[in-house]
């Protein structure tokens, strides 16, 4: 095994061939054995393998695009479980975007936010209220529900409204820090949920615990997005934008200030970093990703109610970040995918399997222990184990390494060039 | 409007005092741990909840064996309280040993995450043990101390109405007062209490003064958790029905009480708890009246969290705490 990996290392052609082979085998098995969840999951694993290959980044993006846009929808499309696969893939995408948002707040800026799902709720309700007849209850002007065309604008509006609330919540951050912040955000998350739950009187804005039903599906040029396989592409597009944005932010000036604030607030402040602005920006950007996905979520479910936005959801997103690795973009994507698939597919599959066994009388299996109900137990265990044994997560965050020599050389060259330019000037004079 | 408020005031006071007493004792656990480790022990609410379940399980067991009928109810309650507090006390020590001690030198964020993990783990552990044993995770204990009392406030002034309370409320308040006085005595007057205060002040220096810091921290967790567990039993007796998720919100509010009184300050936590209980009951009874029906009693939780946020923003050191400046 060791010899094999050492042979593979450095051999790009072999890596490509193996990867393509892997994708081919898994897609073929999914194509032939349609009901097999395993094949679908193995196909998704190819993206992880892709991450570990040593191909140039650009090629990796292209391959990932081909797999996500072409291979997965095509291979899954022929069978009866097509929509359920696409549903899983869509939900994974939504959670990845949210986890990336939380990653900015927790992983990069080091502010523990336990009410993150509130922003998701805000995004969902922003679209939900205006895309149902609900808005007519408190807005005397305008015709509601708005048509599905407005969905595209609402992605932006949801983004901005969530960012606005991020800033509003961020204002207490100015005074509160560390563990108090966790409690304040937890309180905020609960407040938002309770408010949405009770805002059916005196003016009926959110329709209370009944929720908003039959949210208009998105529409473009008369084409309606109704099925998960159609939403999959919307989510993919937003996700692409989110990942690019996160990568850009991470290595920009603001990204470095977030990391500085995370490591030591006082030191960062003394280096001239504006604490308030940096933290507020982290909250706003993290929240905006969540808000966008909230809009998509509302359109996809066509139903919004407060039970989708409980504390458990916030913790789930936190678990994704911790599992994957705080501050690490590929890690968080992996963490979000693992947890979502665990939640949606693995736990229910295992439960069904165990129920089947106990139905056949092979083992007697108490209902109380069914894995589908064990989410809290599993999440709690993941949090403790990772906190103690692997706080850096599955894929630890990497900082770009700069070669000191080449930098020096670079600046030397730069200076030489400048000197040259100057001497040129001198010569001309 | 004022007449209505005055009319319900006696009942609000009695109920608020009962709820506030519970908050106060749980707040003690938060404040003691925070004073020593500067860590919000998220699992404390769950220890309270576990205490409630252990207590109810024991009471049900004792009813099944006929002990409850054989001995005076108060004796049974004391027995259950003692056993539960010892069990939850050791549980607290175990949690500290397993989940917090290995992380004592890592960033606070990581410890906090571990604490949240413990809290979720406990919720589900209690949930599936209860569900496994009884088929349902919502548990109702045997009813005890149900006789009603009336305080005739109406004889004082006709604008008040009478307040009713159960014997269990009286027992709850007496137990809580005993616990608080005992704790106050322990912390302020005994050698171990002095060691605790020393560790809270400066861990390194305390260890130089030949104080066994680890032992003191364990002791702190034991006492805090024992008090929390005992309160759980009292809560179950007072309110009857319990489920594995009561600990989280109640713990959050108790933490609010601890912050209100100044975190790390034991007497402050007691005062903060009582105050929060009274405020919350007042809000639940009168919010609808005060806002002309815009906000209903459902908003009492929002009210409690709003207090927390306001205190943290404007007076983070709490009502009775000392402001700490951060040293570089």
User: What's the CA gap between B303 and B77, in Å, rounded?
Assistant: 34
pLDDT in tens, A62-84: 878 877 877 777 777 777 777 77
A251 and A300 co-located in one domain: yes
Q: What is the DSSP string of B204-226?
A: HHHHHTT--HHHHHHHHHHHHHH
Residue A350: inside a domain:
no
Cα angle for residues B323, B325, B327 (degrees, 5° grid): 155
Average pLDDT over residues B292-303: 75
A353-359: which pairs have CB atoms within 8 A and are 24 or more residues apart? Answer: none
Strands A212-213 and A223-224: unpaired
On whether the CB atoms of residues B26 and B45 are closer than 8 A, the answer is yes
Within-domain flag for A129? yes
The chain-wide mean pLDDT, for chain A, equals 80
Residue A425 is predicted with a pLDDT of: 40
Question: For residue A15, what pLDDT is reported?
Answer: 78
Q: Are residues A160 and A113 in the same domain?
A: yes
* Alpha carbon distances (Å) from B298 to B8, B35, B37, B106, B243: 18, 33, 35, 40, 19
Compute the nearest-CA separation of A368 from chain B (Å): 5
Q: What is the token pair recorded at A346?
A: 């693995």
Q: Specify the 3-state DSSP secondary structure of A304.
A: strand
Q: Which of A56-65, A150-159, B79-88 holds the top average pLDDT?
A: B79-88
Is A42 contained in some domain? yes
Residue B238 pLDDT grade (very low, low, confident, very high; cuts 50, 70, 90): confident
Which carries the bigger pLDDT value, residue B291 or residue B137? B137
Q: Which of A56, A80, A104 is the last residue of a domain?
A: A80
Q: How far is CA B236 from the centre of its chain?
A: 12
Any domain includes B92: yes
Indicate if A47 and A110 belong to the same structural domain.
no
DSSP assignment, residue A362?
A: S
Strand spans (E) along A290-411: 303-304
Q: What is the mean pLDDT of residues A161-176?
A: 81
Using CB atoms, pick whichever of B106, B132, B256 lies closest to residue A366: B132
DSSP assignment of B66-84 equals THHHHS-HHHHHHHHHHHH
pLDDT of A101 higher than 80: yes
What is the distance between the alpha carbons of residues B50 and B84, in angstroms, rounded to a whole number?
A: 9
> Could you tell me which chain B residue has the CA closest to the CA of A375?
B124
Give pLDDT, residue A309.
Answer: 87
Give me the CATH number covering residue B10: 1.10.3470
- Are residues A190 and B328, on separate chains, in Cβ contact within 8 Å? no
The three-class DSSP label of residue B151 is strand
Q: How far is CA A50 from the centre of its chain?
A: 19
B156 in a domain, yes or no? yes
> Is residue A103 domain-shared with residue A172, that is, in the same domain?
yes
Mean pLDDT of A102-106: 90
Chain A residues inside the 8 Å CB shell of B248 = 311
Task: Give the model's confidence band at A50: pLDDT under 50 very low, under 70 low, under 90 confident, else very high.
Answer: confident
Does residue B203 form part of some domain? Answer: yes
What confidence category does residue B230 fall into, taking pLDDT thresholds of 50, 70 and 90?
Answer: very high
Note whether residue B205 is domain-resident.
yes
State the Cα–Cα distance between residues B35 and B111, nearest whole angstrom: 16
Nearest-angstrom CA–CA distance, A31 and B315: 63
> What is the percent of chain A with per-residue pLDDT over 70, rounded to a whole number?
89
Q: Is B323 a member of any domain?
A: no
Is the pLDDT score of A349 beyond 50? yes
Which candidate, A241, A222, A220, places its Cα nearest to that of A231? A220
pLDDT at B283: 84
For B291, name the nearest residue in chain A, comparing CA atoms only.
A202
Using the predicted structure, report yes or no on whether residue A364 has a pLDDT greater than 80: no
Q: What b/e string do you get for A74-110 counting C-beta neighbours within 10 Å, with b at 16 or more?
A: ebbeebebbebbbbbbbbbbbbbbbbbbbbbbbbbbb
**Are A288 and A206 in a shared domain?**
yes
In a domain, A379, yes or no: no
Out of A324, A341, A369, a domain closes at A324
Q: Which two structure tokens, joined as six digits, stand for A96? A: 């990845």
- Pairing label, strands A212-213, A303-304: antiparallel
What are the pLDDT digits (tens) for A21-38? 887 777 777 777 766 777
How far is the C-alpha of A149 from the C-alpha of A151, rounded, in Å? Answer: 5
DSSP assignment letter at A215? P
Residues of chain B in contact with residue A187, where contact means CB-CB under 8 angstroms, are 252, 256, 305, 308-309
**What pLDDT score does A421 carry?**
42
- Residue at token pair 């307040």: B163
- The secondary structure of residue B321, as a DSSP letter, is P
Find, among A150, A151, A170, A152, the residue nearest to A162 by Cα.
Answer: A170
A75 and A90 in a single domain? The answer is no
* Pair A4, A151 in one domain: no
Is A376 a member of any domain? Answer: no
- Between A4 and A98, the higher pLDDT residue: A98
Instruction: Give A-chain residues touching B113 at CB under 8 angstroms.
Output: 112, 318, 322, 383, 386-387
Task: Tell me the C-alpha distance between A95 and A318, whole Å.
Answer: 11
Q: What confidence tier does B46 reach under pLDDT thresholds 50, 70, 90?
A: very high
- Confidence category of residue B82, pLDDT binned at 50, 70, 90: very high
Considering only alpha carbons, which residue of chain B is nearest residue A180?
B312
Provide the pLDDT confidence category of residue A99 given band limits of 50, 70 and 90.
very high
Q: Please state, in angstroms and rounded to a whole number, the distance separating the CA atoms of residues B203 and B216.
A: 10
- Whether the per-residue pLDDT at B142 is higher than 50: the answer is yes
Give the per-residue pLDDT at A102: 92
Domain assignment present for residue B127? The answer is yes
**Tokens standing for A41?**
């999951």
In a domain, A299, yes or no: yes
| Closest residue to A369, CB basis, from B128, B249, B294 | B128
Note whether residue A15 is domain-resident: yes
A59: which residues sit within 8 A by CB, 6+ positions away? none
Closest CA to A201 of B294, B290, B299, B287: B294
Q: Return the residue matching tokens 């149900």.
A: B146
| Co-location of A266 and A172 in the same domain | yes
Are the CB atoms for A180 and B316 separated by under 8 Å? yes
User: Residue A377, CB half-sphere, CA atoms under 13 Å: how many?
Assistant: 15
- The answer on pLDDT for B322 being more than 80 is no
Identify the pLDDT of residue B90.
Answer: 94
pLDDT for residue A414 is more than 70: no
Question: CA A46 to CA A70: how far, in whole Å?
Answer: 14
For residue A265, the distance in angstroms to the closest alpha carbon of chain B comes to: 10
* HSE toward the beta carbon, residue B177, CA cutoff 13 A: 8
User: How far is it, in rounded angstroms, from Cα B216 to Cα B135?
Assistant: 41
**Is residue B301 in some structural domain?**
yes
Asked if A192 and A98 sit in the same domain, the reply is yes
Mutate to test the interface with A, among B121, B126, B243, B246 (most CBs of A within 10 A): B121
Check CB contact of B301 with chain A, cutoff 8 Å: yes
Whether residue A228 is found in the same domain as residue A120: yes
| Domain end marker among A22, A57, A80 | A80
With respect to residue B325, please indicate whether it lies within any of the assigned structural domains.
no
* A378 Cβ contact partners less than 8 Å away, ≥ 6 residues apart: A342
Span of A171-185, A279-293, B306-320 with lowest mean pLDDT: A171-185
Answer whether A377's CB lies under 8 Å from A73's CB: no
Q: Please give the residue range of the domain that contains residue A111.
A: 86-324
Query: Which residues 53-112 of B are in CB contact (within 8 Å) with A?
Result: 98-99, 102-103, 106-112
Cβ pair A382:B117 closer than 8 A: yes
Cβ separation B305–A110 shorter than 8 A: no
pLDDT interval class at A95 (50, 70, 90): very high
Q: Give the total number of structural domains in chain A.
A: 2
Residue A412: predicted pLDDT: 59
- The pLDDT tens digits for B197-217 are 899 888 889 999 889 999 999
Considering the domain architecture, whether residues A73 and A95 belong to the same structural domain is answered as: no
A175 plus A39 within the same structural domain: no
Residue range(s) defining the domain that contains residue B165: 2-314
Q: List CB contacts (< 8 A) between A318 and chain B.
A: 113, 116
pLDDT digits (tens, 9 = 90+) for B97-134: 988 888 888 888 888 889 989 999 999 899 888 888 88
- Spatial distance between the Cα atoms of A344 and B248, rounded to a whole number of angstroms: 25
Is the CB of residue B260 less than 8 Å from the CB of residue B276? yes
Q: At what angle do helices B167-189 and B73-95 cross, to 10 degrees?
A: 50
Cis upstream peptide for A173 (omega within 30°): no
| Per-residue pLDDT reduced to its tens digit, A321-343 | 988 888 888 889 998 988 888 88
**Residue A30 backbone phi and psi in degrees, to 5:** -70, -40
Question: Greater confidence, B151 or A248?
Answer: A248
Distance from CA of A178 to the nearest CA of B (A): 7
CB contact under 8 A, B108 and A179: yes
Given a cut of 50, whether residue A428 has pLDDT beyond it is no
pLDDT tens profile B16-42: 888 899 999 999 888 888 888 888 888
Question: Checking phi first, is residue B9 left (phi over 0); if not, alpha (psi -120 to 50) or beta?
Answer: alpha
Strands A212-213 and B241-242: unpaired
CB-based contact B302 A114, cutoff 8 Å: no
Query: Are residues B112 and A182, on separate chains, in Cβ contact within 8 Å?
Result: yes
The residue-averaged pLDDT of A186-202 equals: 82
- Predicted confidence (pLDDT) at residue A427 exceeds the cutoff of 50: no
A188/B305 CB distance under 8 A: yes
- Looking up tokens 């509010």, which residue turns up? B253
ipTM surpassing 0.90, yes or no?
no
Would the CB atoms of B128 and A178 count as touching at under 8 Å? no
Element (H, E) at A184: helix A179-198
Count of domains observed in chain B: 1
Which residues, in sequence order, are bridge partners of residue A303? A213
Residues 6+ apart with CB under 8 A from A72: A43, A44, A85, A89
């Amino acid at each position: 095994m060791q010899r094999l990996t050492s042979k593979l290392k450095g051999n790009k052609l072999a890596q490509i061939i193996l990867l393509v082979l892997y994708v081919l085998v898994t897609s073929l098995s999914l194509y032939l054995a349609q009901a097999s969840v395993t094949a679908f999951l193995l196909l998704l694993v190819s993206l992880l393998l892709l991450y570990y290959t040593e191909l140039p980044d650009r090629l990796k993006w292209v391959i990932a695009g081909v797999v996500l846009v072409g291979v997965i929808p095509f291979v899954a499309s022929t069978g009866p479980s097509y929509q359920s696969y696409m549903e899983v893939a869509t939900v994974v995408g939504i959670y990845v975007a949210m986890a990336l948002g939380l990653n900015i707040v927790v992983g990069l800026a080091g502010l523990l936010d336990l009410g993150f799902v509130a922003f998701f709720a805000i995004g969902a309700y922003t679209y939900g209220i205006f895309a149902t007849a609900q808005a007519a209850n408190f807005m005397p002007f305008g015709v509601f529900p708005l048509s599905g065309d407005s969905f595209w604008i609402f992605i932006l509006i949801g983004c901005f409204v969530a960012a606005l609330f991020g800033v509003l919540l961020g204002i207490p951050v100015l005074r509160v820090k560390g563990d108090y912040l966790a409690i304040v955000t937890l309180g905020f998350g609960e407040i938002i949920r309770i408010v949405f739950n009770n805002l059916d009187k005196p003016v009926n804005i959110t329709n209370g615990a009944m929720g908003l039903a039959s949210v208009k599906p998105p529409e473009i040029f008369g084409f309606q997005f109704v099925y998960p396989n159609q939403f999959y592409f919307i989510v993919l597009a937003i996700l692409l934008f989110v990942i690019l944005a996160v990568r850009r932010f991470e290595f920009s000036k603001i990204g470095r200030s977030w990391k500085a604030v995370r490591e030591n607030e006082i030191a960062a402040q003394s280096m001239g970093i504006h604490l308030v602005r940096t933290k507020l920006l982290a909250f706003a950007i993290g929240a905006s990703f969540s808000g966008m996905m909230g809009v998509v979520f509302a359109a996809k479910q066509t139903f919004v109610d407060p039970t989708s936005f409980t504390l458990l959801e916030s913790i789930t997103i936190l678990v994704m970040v911790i599992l994957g690795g705080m501050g690490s973009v590929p890690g968080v994507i992996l963490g979000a995918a693992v947890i979502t698939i665990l939640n949606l597919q693995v736990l229910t599959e295992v439960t069904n399997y165990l129920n089947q066994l106990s139905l056949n009388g092979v083992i007697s299996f108490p209902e109380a222990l069914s894995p589908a109900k064990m989410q809290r137990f599993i999440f709690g265990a993941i949090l403790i184990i990772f906190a103690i044994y692997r706080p850096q997560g599955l894929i630890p965050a990497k900082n770009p390494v700069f070669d000191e020599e080449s930098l020096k050389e670079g600046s030397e060259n730069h200076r030489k060039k400048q000197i040259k330019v100057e001497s040129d000037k001198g010569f001309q004079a | 409007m004022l007449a209505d408020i005055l009319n319900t005031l006696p009942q609000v006071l009695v109920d608020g005092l009962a709820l506030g007493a519970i908050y106060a004792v749980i707040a003690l656990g938060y404040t003691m741990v925070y004073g020593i480790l500067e860590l919000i022990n998220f699992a404390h609410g769950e220890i309270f909840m576990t205490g409630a379940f252990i207590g109810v399980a024991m009471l049900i067991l004792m009813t099944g064996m006929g002990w409850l009928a054989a001995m005076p109810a108060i004796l049974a309650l004391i027995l259950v309280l003692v056993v539960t507090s010892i069990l939850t006390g050791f549980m607290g020590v175990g949690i500290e040993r397993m989940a917090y001690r290995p992380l004592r030198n890592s960033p606070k964020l990581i410890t906090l995450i571990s604490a949240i993990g413990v809290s979720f783990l406990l919720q589900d552990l209690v949930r599936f043990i209860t569900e496994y044993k009884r088929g349902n995770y919502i548990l109702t204990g045997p009813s005890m101390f149900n006789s009603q009392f009336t305080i005739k406030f109406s004889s004082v002034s006709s604008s008040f109405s009478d307040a009713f309370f159960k014997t269990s409320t009286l027992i709850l308040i007496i137990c809580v007062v005993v616990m608080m006085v005992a704790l106050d005595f322990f912390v302020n007057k005994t050698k171990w209490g002095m060691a605790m205060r020393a560790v809270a002040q400066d861990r390194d220096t305390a260890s130089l003064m030949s104080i066994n810091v680890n032992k003191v921290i364990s002791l702190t967790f034991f006492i805090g958790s024992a008090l929390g567990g005992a309160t759980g039993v009292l809560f179950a007796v007072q309110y009857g029905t319990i489920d594995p998720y009561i600990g989280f919100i109640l713990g959050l509010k108790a933490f609010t009480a601890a912050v209100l009184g100044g975190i790390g300050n034991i007497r402050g936590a007691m005062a903060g708890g009582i105050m929060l209980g009274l405020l919350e009951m007042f809000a639940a009874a009168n919010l609808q009246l005060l806002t002309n029906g815009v906000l209903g009693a459902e908003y009492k939780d929002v009210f409690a969290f709003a207090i927390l946020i306001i205190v943290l923003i404007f007076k983070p050191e709490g009502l009775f705490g000392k402001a700490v400046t951060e040293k570089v």
